[in-house]
Amino acid sequence: MKSTVAIVTGASQGIGRAAAIRLARDFSAVVLAARNAEALEEVAARVKETGAEALPLALDLSRTDAPEAIVGPTLDRFGRIDALLNIAGAVPQIDLFEMTDEQWYSGMELKLHGARRLTIRAWDALKQTQGSVVFMSGSAALDPKPGFAAVAATNAAITALAKAFAEQGIEDGVQVNSIVPGAVMTGRRRTFLQKWAPAHHMSVEEATKKFPEDAGISRYGQPEEIADLLGFMVSPAAKWMTGASLRMDGGEIKGI
């Protein structure tokens, strides 16, 4: 296997975890960044089972020193970066009229600004390998609702940010795209449903069924399905694709 290195943020759970395990099939090393050290060790073990190396880095991507804490050790150990998957970040799902400024900015600091800072720090290394970057957006950006206003605003900003990086990438030889997943059944979504259901006088089972029905889709997506698309997006087969924003949402967004 050619020596290639991928960085995955948010790698301790959900889509990030699935992506890290999936990329281990195609990359010789996967750098895992997230806050939960114990969970990262479990993912690192799964990566190593494939024969790839794993470098787990427990840190908070919302901190301004996080990019150096990721890129520095990656280059020290492996000497290169071939792909960066910006997956980390949860934005509070709170009603627009009830959300505080602190809640509004906390999600943006992690998901938007954390990804922006890390991409800038990794850019020179990505130029050297003619590497790839993927940003994680979300379907709320295309269908904003009052209870998901911060989610929608952050994801829309991420899509625009990815487009700006992609324009620079054409000149520098770095491929940049974004992905727009819909309703994916992750641990975070399960936690949300467990809190949402009793507040709306439903069982968790009823709430779990209601969301896909309301979205007009047949089922929730699975993290592994998104991970497979991410694997394609940073593969040689997708190398001519840049500046794209790919939706994978089971048909949730009805517009063109």
pTM for this one?
A: 0.94
Q: 148 or 239: which carries more pLDDT confidence?
A: 239
CA distance readout (Å), 105 to 85, 94, 234: 22, 13, 30
Asked whether residue 164 is assigned to any structural domain, the reply reads: yes
* pLDDT higher than threshold 80 for residue 11: yes
- Number of structural domains, the chain? 2
For the chain, the maximum distance between any two Cα atoms, rounded to a whole number of angstroms, is: 55
CA distance readout (Å), 110 to 161, 215, 240: 14, 27, 29
* pLDDT higher than threshold 80 for residue 133: yes
pLDDT of residue 193: 86
Same domain, 194 and 237: no
Token representation of residue 143? 């269908």
Asked whether residue 38 is assigned to any structural domain, the reply reads: yes
Same domain, 131 and 22: yes
Same domain, 151 and 122: yes
Same domain, 164 and 132: yes
pLDDT of residue 107: 80
Structural domain that includes position 212? 185-220
* pLDDT higher than threshold 70 for residue 1: no
The percent of residues in the chain predicted with pLDDT above 90, rounded, is 71
Same domain, 42 and 132: yes
Q: Which of 178, 165, 60 is nearest to 122 (CA)?
A: 165
Residue 116 pLDDT level (bands cut at 50, 70, 90):
very high
Mean pLDDT of 163-179: 98
Residue 67 pLDDT level (bands cut at 50, 70, 90):
very high
Choice among 44-58, 109-123, 157-171, 191-205 with the minimum mean pLDDT:
191-205
Mean pLDDT estimate for the chain: 93
Please report how many Cα atoms fall inside a 13 Å half-sphere around the Cα of residue 180, on the Cβ side: 24
Q: Which residues are within 8 A (CB) of 193 and not within 5 positions of it... i.e. 6 or more apart?
A: 204, 207, 208, 211
